Structure 1
Amino acid sequence: MKKTLVSALTTALVVGAASTTFAATNPFSDVPSDHWAYDAVTQLAADGVIEGYGDTTFRGNQNITRYEMAQMIAKAMAKSDVSAADKALIDKLAAEFADELNNLGVRVSNLERNADKVKWNGEARYTYTSTRDKSKTDSKSNDDELLLRLEPSAEVNDHWHVNARLDASTDLAEDKGDDNHGGSQDTNVKLQRIWAEGQYGTTNIKLGKLPMQIDDNLLFDDEISGATITTGKDLKVTLQAGRFDLNGDTNNEAVQKADDEADDAANMQSIGLQYGKDKFSIGAAYHHLNSDAFTKMGPSYKASGDEDNADIWSANLHYAFDKNVALGGVYAENTKADDYKKAGTVELDYKGAQQENKGTWGAYAAYRYLGQNVAFDPSYDGAWAGTKGWEVGTNYTLFKNTVASLKYFNGEKLDSGKDAEKLFGRVEFFF
């Protein structure tokens, strides 16, 4: 048995019953605004029950199958904000199409329900850096990188989600063509993170390969494979434990050199306290790391050469003077290291680009001191591990979800006193 447009319109009226207005624009070229079915068809399209055809037509005079009708009813059944009368009408329609809903419609409904629980965010970006390090023979290096990042999040139940991050990057400096033309192409696809996250009141639990939860800017711009738990409202307590890849994507030369001779993964345990309310926040943290890599970092880490631990204390302070201006600072020290064991930064921020608002912008100025035996993997795009100096930057939203950033660092290497400089530029497209 076939159902025509009348059945579809019945479902449309049910689905749209909770809405006070209909769609303002006509989604279908063959349903004019004076058509008797205009309001119902546009509401049905607005609610996502029908999509029409690729040529922007609805073809309302064409019969639809029971399968198509069952899909519409399944979507109507998924609505939760309908009246009792509308619910009764939906039940009658469901009874009429019970076989289709049982054999196919229920499956369609489940798929749509699950699809609603999966959200995708991501970005495509281009990054250019020009670095000058006078302590090296080849003191200047330029780099171009393209990156595509996908970040899905799926709901498991009322308390738990599963999150992931997939990065696909290519280094344009190494992209000289394909193998058929005698060139090489440096492209890397990596499942960077995947973790389960549960929320119970003010307590948050994360399990898996997840973002570093404490001191991620100054010390650890990477992931930890393990577990974290954060609890509290104004005063938050965070515990984390797992394995941290000391080398990772770091530009810390001391760690990179040690990686050639030892397992660079460290067992890590951390605790952090953070208090924040209104314009003010303050916090402190402690990290213990154990790895053979520390024994391979030479006398600049420990004169005896037999130390395989790092004990790091940190403190941070941040104050927002108003909605535009904020001042913050972080300090950290590794008590197990002999040299280059201190790190700190002071930063003044003004406004900031908002990706959803075209024309918004921000700027900052900072002083960074990044001892390489404590700032193992800092996240700053200007200064890098083993340097100190001034960094300034700005960002601007060119269009909605399109942000451009420019940063400049000027300083010196801690171990040699030689000049160090970096220019950083990036354009990001968010979706």
Structure 2
Amino acid sequence: MLTGRRYRLEFDAGQKLLAERIAAVCRSAWNTALEQRRAYRRRGAFIGYAEQCRQLAEAKKEFPWLAEAPAQVLQQTLKDLDQACRRHGTWKVRWKSKTRQAPSLRFPTPKHIPVEVINRRWARVFLPKLGWVRFRLSRPLGGAVRSATVSRDGEHWFISFLVEDGQRAPQVHARPDAVVGVDRGVVTAAVTSDGEFFDRRHATAFGVSSSEPPEESMAARADDRGYLSAGEAERYVRLQRRLARAEKGSARRARVVCALGAIMGRVRRRRADFTAQVAHRLTRDYAHIVLEDLKVRGMTASASGTAAAPGARVAQKSGLNRAILDKGWYGLEVALRSAARYTGSVVSAVPAAYTSRTCSVAACGRVDAKSRESQALFRCTACGYVEHADVNAAKCIKAREQAAGPVVSGRGDFGGARVGEASSARSTARGAPRAAA
């Protein structure tokens, strides 16, 4: 299977400047090629990857600065653009911004990027135009390199190798009958239908099974600062105030932005570590993992509206957006689908409507908003069933998937196919909540 290996590069000052210039050339090639595709579409014509590559070779004669970037890197940029336009449409592909996207460049040919191990701690890689670069061998590559992507994260540069690790997805999971529903929330990141609570705050009691979170966890929730420590949160606020006083374009503002980025970089890494741990735990224990089909991008869209029609309750929506993004809903789903390849698990999704209002008791199934008495308490108004609200929702998610029929794929792919259905990259959920009694 193909997997990723990320290492920190040790560029010298000259290599850093050259990498920035190469990334700028790639960004310019992407934006110019995208504008060209849109211009062709406006007059009812089409231009593809092959023609744009030919024109790029001719443009190098007129614009020598294009030759600063390796040919394979520029060709890969055009190929990535071609794939994006075919997948999403020419008008939905975004421009690459110098300020919004980190610089990156991809080397697609393995023979042009040889890797040599220096000792047990260091290795080096040859990058065209950049030369030999050392990187910290924090773990073995574990396979044959297929491609490499160089990118900047904050002040440091990293290289991500795409490696063929030689492993095969298991045909059957170790526990083929184990099925679990997972509810994602803004208070607790993930709660399973078996009563397990997964959250970054509970790292010392990771995955403790309980019908309700323990009292000490509830107390910790009151002082929760997400993935920031108390000192980091205080420093982040100070830096934000300093940023507001700094003049735009000044060196002082650039230093403050860099310091803010360093703090948020640690937050991203902690979130990624947490989602990877949860994904490993769930895919190890369950053959079928059922999630809600949540459109996170739409759910976290701004409510500010336009100047002519401003949105309502913008501050409240902004706080909800931060809470959703802080819990890493989409990151957890991606981590689950990646980890499932190695265990044979199937990850599928069901409609999210009314899962928090539906009674999970099979004989009842009443849908009533009044049953959700609080964030943590669910008490059915029909049968009197009492359960933690997140656990009840996870049970409803699991029940909807079981009602849709058996899943026949156990190869750890990115979805499951049911009996009589075509296999797809993602299992689209069926089933609807029962009507209120």
Q: What is the TM-score normalised by the length of structure 1?
A: 0.20
Which structure has the highest helix share of the two?
2
Q: Which structure has the greater CA radius of gyration? A: 1
- Which of structures 1 and 2 has the larger relative contact order (alpha carbons within 8 angstroms, sep 6+)? 2
